[in-house]
Structure 1
Amino acid sequence: MGGSRQFSGIRRGVVLALAMALVGTLSQCAQPMPAGTSPVAIRHSTTEAREPTATTVPTRSAGPVSTTTATRTATPRRATTATPPRKPAPDPPSWEVVRVVDGDTIHVSRDGVVVKVRLIGIDSPERDECGFEASVGNLRRVIGGRQVTLLPGARTSSDQYGRLLRYVEAGGSDVGLAQITSGYAVARFDSRDGYGEHPREAAYVAADRASPDRGWLCATPVPVRPQTGWPLPGDEHPCPRGQPVKGNESSMIAHSPGQQSYLVTSPEQCFATLSDAVAAGFRPAKR
């Protein structure tokens, strides 16, 4: 008897729940229920229309049956890819300075290999030119017998003489910039004279302009080679005979009679001696 009463109670609860669902559906629908449609079908169709992702789960209890609606929403998971850590760039190899040729050229050695290196973006006096010894002496003090690193930066890897074109650093300091700052080299062989811009050009040019003494001055005046006739044969742009040294302002180079480019140089200024030209800020031509 007890089991029959419990079963009757459950059945009455189910009927009551269906009746309540039917009343709710009828109150929300404006149109009358079609003939022959069961309350269960109406409840199912209405629930599916309103909540496509809802699932109705009947929960049994000792009393009337209640319904609980749970909505499950699928959340897509993003695939994550672990990024491997970047390996730090290896440090450039060190080279030993074995010879200082002049103020802008050195020989370095590593693993038994000796190479000749031309510092990028600077120019210093050649042998027998004014300021040569001072420029070489300063460079020897900076890097002589030390370990240096070579860094690329020029438009080409080497020059026409087979010398590597490199920035040279010693102890993290730019050796070429130090030569300019100290007045023993000038900024040259860059975009201003057709050799292409290099990454440190702006710093080099600024240091060159700020340098108080470029080291080109000599202790004694440099005489001009005497000439018999004037102007010289083939001279396209002659200076006065009393001021034969030609100063080219675009390159700030002074050309003396007898040098390679003298006859074709168009001067903006003319000087009596090379020392006068150097005092005005020009540097002697190499050839």
Structure 2
Amino acid sequence: MVQVIDGDTMVVMKGEESVNVRLYGIDCPEGNQASGREAWIFASKLADGNPVEVQPIDIDRYGRTVATVHVNGRSINEELIRSGHAWVYTQYCTNDFCRDWLKLQSDSQGARSGLWAAKNPTPPWDFRHSFKLAQATPQSSKPKAPPASAASYHGNISSRIFHDSSCQHYDCKACTATFTTRQQALDAGYRPCKKCGAK
């Protein structure tokens, strides 16, 4: 069984054990970023109800297994690039096959597939950096609550608990799953934090 958290993160059941997997060498738009939901839907359709083969490459700082994941002989990593739902994460994609992935990305860009249909799509690493800067900016007055459509949530991939942006645990070390809406977090199997309520 596979539970897709976002485009490049999933939980794979290995017997009775759940393994948190980060797809190697790619970076999908965040859940609260343009095209993020589309990447999640695409990855979910590929993995839904199908047995997967996880080929571990590394363990990241959050304890997740960094891997290529195959379903029915197809690499989910590659399919996300080919369909225009992911960037090749060149900072971390160092294997020989990454050159082939860059060619896939170039073809996807040329075809304006997926996220490349936008004029200037923002890479997720830039989006995360901007988001952290915005969170760190001191407010001269009490900040206004964001509209519901702009609310974002972070999920702890270890405890399966999610937090809203006002929570002290919002940026915890293992809070790497992102959700645009509260319902999206609930649908992914996460529970709201008892302290902040994740409203």
TM score, norm. by length of structure 1: 0.41
Asked if 1:210 corresponds to 2:104, the answer is: no
Q: Distance in 2 between matches of 1:163 and 1:252?
A: 19
> For the Cα contact (< 8 Å) 2:29–2:124, is it kept in 1?
no
Q: CA deviation at 1:258?
A: 5.6
Task: After TM superposition, list the pairs within 5 Å mapping 1:189-208 onto structure 2.
Answer: 190=90, 193=91, 195=92, 197-208=94-105
Q: Please list every run of 5 or more consecutive structure 2 residues that lacks an aligned counterpart in the other structure.
A: 135-177, 179-199
Match of 2:84 among 178, 183, 192: 183
> For the Cα contact (< 8 Å) 1:255–1:261, is it kept in 2?
no
Q: Distance in 1 between matches of 2:50 and 2:129?
A: 41
Q: Which one has a bigger Cα radius of gyration? A: 1
Q: 1:106 to 1:257 in 2, by over 3 A?
A: closer
Q: Distance in 2 between matches of 1:101 and 1:203?
A: 26
Asked if 1:119 corresponds to 2:17, the answer is: no
Match of 1:168 among 60, 63, 69: 69
SS of 2:13 mapped into structure 1: strand
Q: What is the one-letter code of the residue matched to 1:201?
A: C
Q: CA deviation at 1:261?
A: 6.2
* 1:105 matched residue in structure 2: 9
> For the Cα contact (< 8 Å) 2:24–2:66, is it kept in 1?
yes
> For the Cα contact (< 8 Å) 2:52–2:69, is it kept in 1?
yes
- Alignment root-mean-square deviation, CA: 3.4
Match of 1:141 among 45, 50, 53: 45
Consecutive aligned runs of 4 or more in structure 1 exceeding 2 Å deviation:
212-219, 251-262
> For the Cα contact (< 8 Å) 1:118–1:164, is it kept in 2?
yes
Q: Distance in 1 between matches of 2:68 and 2:128?
A: 32
Q: Distance in 2 between matches of 1:123 and 1:257?
A: 14
SS of 2:21 mapped into structure 1: strand
> For the Cα contact (< 8 Å) 1:100–1:139, is it kept in 2?
yes
Task: After TM superposition, list the pairs within 5 Å mapping 1:1-287 onto structure 2.
Answer: 96-97=1-2, 99-153=3-57, 157-188=58-89, 190=90, 193=91, 195=92, 197-211=94-108, 212-213=111-112, 215-216=114-115, 259-260=131-132
Q: What is the one-letter code of the residue matched to 1:131?
A: S
CA-to-partner distance for each residue in 1:62-109, whole Å, 9 max, x for gaps?
xxxxxxxxxxxxxxxxxxxxxxxxxxxxxxxxxx31x10111111000
SS of 2:114 mapped into structure 1: coil
> For the Cα contact (< 8 Å) 1:131–1:217, is it kept in 2?
no
Q: Distance in 1 between matches of 2:50 and 2:84?
A: 22
Q: Please list every run of 5 or more consecutive structure 1 residues that lacks an aligned counterpart in the other structure.
A: 1-95, 220-244, 263-285
Q: 1:260 to 1:142 in 2, by over 3 A?
A: same
Q: CA deviation at 1:254?
A: 5.4
Q: Distance in 2 between matches of 1:206 and 1:143?
A: 24
Q: 1:146 to 1:208 in 2, by over 3 A?
A: same
SS of 2:106 mapped into structure 1: helix
Q: 1:196 to 1:205 in 2, by over 3 A?
A: closer
> For the Cα contact (< 8 Å) 2:26–2:93, is it kept in 1?
no
Identity %: 25
Q: 1:137 to 1:254 in 2, by over 3 A?
A: same
Q: Distance in 2 between matches of 1:213 and 1:174?
A: 21
